[in-house]
Amino acid sequence: MERVLTALMDLVVPPASMVMLAFAWPTLAFLRALEWAVKALTKEDMRGKVVLVTGASSAIGEQVAYEYARRGANLVLVARREHRLFAVRENARALGAGQVLVVAADVVREDDCGRLVADTISYFGQLDHLVNTVSLGHDFLFEEAGDTAAFPHLMDINFWGNVYPTYAALPYLRQSHGRVVVNASVDTWLPMPRMSLYSAAKAAVVDFYETLRYEVKDEVGITVATHGWIGGEPGVGTGIGTSRFALEEGAGAADQTQAQAQAPAQQWTKADTTPPLPAPGGLAVEEYARAVVDGACRGDARVRRPGWYDVFHVFRAFAPDVLGWTFRLLLSTAPAPSTVAGTGRRALVVAPVGAPTAALPAPPVRPLIEYPAAVAGRRPAAAQLHKLE
């Protein structure tokens, strides 16, 4: 009897659901537009509020920081590349930001995340928005990677690089009824060739935050932003036109140095950036960052840019073979990848998301700003924090 019921449900529920959605779609669209209008009128005023942005030294993170600066927010800029953060800090000040702290930290290290949140609270006394933008993409078929050394780095940066800062910041976000903003990708629901590990990590990130949304209820807001092509760079979702062995913000400095040191034995490859292909329907980094911050200030649960990517939800749910045929066609016409001499395997390619970056050494250790003795005693001696005078 149970098997018969299951078979009947499989036969009836999908077409019935499609018919129901077809009739309900106009009403749902109207309600969504009405909700958007109400939220736009009651948008959160960020003047004087505190926003912590990870991966803020370049690409999406940098532009998100500028958007918050235009809204008069106080900023905490976090990345490994300290010298880049100083330039971003000055630009943010020129755009209208309040006070700006620069923190050199590695978000894949739990103790660094605890420190950067403690620094924020010690100086500002509150935290209103946490924006996680760190990402690391790649461009290799899983079976042809040739070396597994990058696998844990990809998972660490794309998953734990979001989870650790959130874990450290969540108690303070509860106090301020703040918000977590997450930079995800269409790869979470639109699997793309040559992006298997990245897609898995980003899918884990989205599922984590969708679950966390129900755990924190209305005490902390969560905005999950997904993007496709950005600024002509395929970045997340295609793996075409990328730089090789270049770690984006959030990658561990020690991990990067170790990987470089072991490059000959592990078949790591450095190469110039391949010119990106045209991006149909893509958008500029600035436009995406503006949409993310606008959505966060409105209290949107999800921000998707470009919006037309949503149509692939339908294909994946009701016609997954169409996506499969498309990917097979693309792969059959793609140029043959380069291989490592003597192995027959492809050279491992690790590409940054948003914009190509060069491999840089770890940021230097610099003196702290002065803290009261009770607070300083709890801080690591090598912490790096700089006050904007």
Q: pLDDT of 203-230, one tens digit each?
A: 999 999 999 999 998 899 999 998 877 6
pLDDT at 128: 96
Q: Are strands 100-104 and 385-387 parallel, antiparallel or unpaired?
A: antiparallel
pLDDT at 311 over 80: no
pLDDT at 280 over 50: no
Give the integer Cα–Cα distance in Å for 369 and 366.
Answer: 10
Residue 198 annotated in active site? yes
Mean pLDDT of 308-332: 76
Q: Give the model's confidence band at 319: pLDDT under 50 very low, under 70 low, under 90 confident, else very high.
A: confident
Mean pLDDT of 352-368: 38
pLDDT at 179 over 90: yes
In the chain, % of residues over pLDDT 70: 70
Task: Output the pTM of the full model.
Answer: 0.72
Q: pLDDT of 46-75, one tens digit each?
A: 999 999 999 999 889 999 999 999 999 999
Task: Reduce the secondary structure of the chain to three states and give it as a string.
Answer: CHHHHHHHHHHHHHHHHHHHHHHHHHHHHHHHHHHHHHHHHCCCCCCCCEEEEECCCCHHHHHHHHHHHHCCCEEEEEECCHHHHHHHHHHHHHHCCCCEEEEECCCCCHHHHHHHHHHHHHHHCCCCEEEECCCEEECCCHHHCCCCCCHHHHHHHHHHHHHHHHHHHHHHHHHHCCEEEEECCHHHCCCCCCCHHHHHHHHHHHHHHHHHHHHHCCCCEEEEEEECCECCECCCCCCCCCCECCCCCCCCHHHHHHHHHCHHHHCECCECCCCCCCCCCCECHHHHHHHHHHHHHHCCCEEEECHHHHHHHHHHHHCHHHHHHHHHHHHHHCCCCCECCCCCCECECEEECCCCCCCCCCCCCCCCCCCCHHHHCCCCCCCCEEECC
Mean pLDDT of 91-97: 94
Closest CA to 252 of 132, 106, 77, 154: 106
pLDDT at 333: 57
In the chain, % of residues over pLDDT 90: 39
Q: pLDDT of 232-265, one tens digit each?
A: 443 333 333 333 333 444 444 444 444 444 333 3
pLDDT at 169: 96
pLDDT at 124 over 90: yes
Give the mean pLDDT of the chain.
75
Q: Which of 11-25, 69-83, 280-294 shows the highest mean pLDDT?
A: 69-83
Are 185 and 179 within 8 A, CB to CB? no
Give the integer Cα–Cα distance in Å for 337 and 351.
Answer: 15
pLDDT at 348 over 70: no
pLDDT at 82 over 70: yes
Give the active site residue among 66, 172, 198, 309.
198
* More confident of the two residues 262 and 167: 167
Residues 6+ apart with CB under 8 A from 332: none
Q: pLDDT of 228-237, one tens digit each?
A: 776 544 333 3
Q: Which conformational region is residue 317 in: left (phi greater than 0), alpha (psi within -120 to 50 degrees), or beta?
A: alpha
pLDDT at 137: 83
